[in-house]
Amino acid sequence: MKYARLAILGVAVGAGLLAARLVSTSAPEPEPVAEVTAPTIEKTEVLVASSDITLGSKLGGSDFTWASWPTEALPAGVLTKDDDPEAMERLVGQVTRTPIFSGEPIREERLIRTDKGFMAAILPKGMRAIAVSVEAETTAGGFILPGDKVDVILTKASGETGSAVSNTILENVRVLAIDAVTAGDQDEKNVSPDRTATLELNLPQSEIISQAQQVGTISLALRSAQDSADNAEQTVRRKRAVNFVKYGLTSQAASQ
């Protein structure tokens, strides 16, 4: 009886081993995993600013460097090392007409090479720079900075009542400098103007400002950034006349 049980157990173990072998030999071998390679991105060396460059700065060799950019994503007008390998040396000494930020590609239309002064270099064609006498109390408490847009207000004594009368004579005018401080070299957040503000004007506006300074006090009203952008809609105002007396004769100049 004992031998019969051992024989049955042996047969069961042998059958199990045989079944396991059959299963292992019949299982399919795993397929090899294909290696996935990332697509090669073609890059181009582009001339970029190595640090923030302020308006009116004269470029030096340390102001820009070459950086790798994806060739398919190159912005229009940038300088590449393949097309202009001497660009760094060629641009040294030019003056920036707009601020350029760190890592931003250098575009030649934002630079100018001139032997004139800085103010003449940054003035748009057809515009004039004229200085007006101002005081801190009449310039938003000293918070008007170069690059801001302002309205120009003339305050003068009324010939009829003797009281002061104020009129806005110019609107949305760009401030180029406060005293001798421009947007390119201001170091502090606010500047306290106590002598002059230089404004960007066209020729008729320059004449209005020059005449207004002879008859009254000029004040500058700071405009909000939301309505002082270059592409902002201009406010349409009723034209006012400013009276000027010369050699006993009264003339008028319409404000704009």
pLDDT digits (tens, 9 = 90+) for 72-124: 888 888 999 989 999 888 999 888 877 889 999 998 888 887 666 667 777 77
CB–CB of 168/255 below 8 Å?
yes
**190 and 217 housed in the same domain:** yes
**129 and 247 housed in the same domain:** yes
- pLDDT of 67 reads 92
The pLDDT of residue 28 is above 50: yes
> Quick one: pLDDT band at residue 140, thresholds 50, 70, 90?
low
Q: What is the pTM of this model?
A: 0.53
- pLDDT of 19 reads 65
Number of structural domains the chain divides into: 2
> Quick one: pLDDT band at residue 226, thresholds 50, 70, 90?
confident
- pLDDT of 246 reads 40
**Spatial distance between the Cα atoms of 126 and 12, rounded to a whole number of angstroms:** 106
% of the chain residues with pLDDT over 90: 14
Range of the domain at 149: 123-254
**83 and 58 housed in the same domain:** yes
**128 and 235 housed in the same domain:** yes
